[in-house]
Amino acid sequence: MDEVIEALENELTAVRTSDTHELWSRQEAGERVIEALEADLSVELVQERDRLAEVIATYRHLLDRRTA
């Protein structure tokens, strides 16, 4: 039984020290964590789409030069 208790205590410690638990705690405290993460990801997604468009344009330009 002591081993089971120790294993559960270790698991509880791991959960409480995880990033997920921190986010959950902040959300429970009233902070708009999910909304902030969503906004950050939206900005990052736009930036990465722009970067991809630049890479595609460069690739097409290089292909055009190669075939010319």
DSSP state of 65: H
pLDDT tens string, the chain, 68 residues long: the values are: 999 999 999 999 999 999 999 999 999 999 999 999 999 999 999 999 999 999 999 999 999 999 98
CA 34 to chain CA centroid, Å, is 11
Whose structure tokens read 């995880």? 18
SS3 content of the chain, % helix, strand, coil (to 5): 90, 0, 10
Per-residue model confidence (pLDDT) at position 68: 81
Contact indicator for 23, 33 with CB cutoff of 8 Å: yes
